[in-house]
Amino acid sequence: MPIDFEVGGVYLPPIAQALLLAMPLLFALLWLLQRLGVMQRVWHPALFEGALYSCICALIILFMGS
């Protein structure tokens, strides 16, 4: 079971931890996809980035639960 963190008097529930952890992973993955040329083939980059962020968050939450 995920634990709750308190940082500087601010309570971070597990969902907020997953959302914060997903941001650097998203940026690294987008950088890699840009370097490989995948982003030039994407029809709508903003929708793709949002969907990718959702998938990364979902995977983190699944791994946190186990």
Q: State the pTM of this model.
A: 0.85
How far is the C-alpha of 42 from the C-alpha of 17, rounded, in Å?
A: 29
The reported pLDDT for the residue numbered 53 is 98
Report the number of distinct structural domains present in the chain.
1
Query: pLDDT tens digits, residue range 5-22?
Result: 787 888 888 888 899 999
Contacts 24+ apart (CB under 8 A), 26-33: 26/52, 26/53, 26/56, 29/56
Q: What is the extent of the structural domain holding 43?
A: 5-65
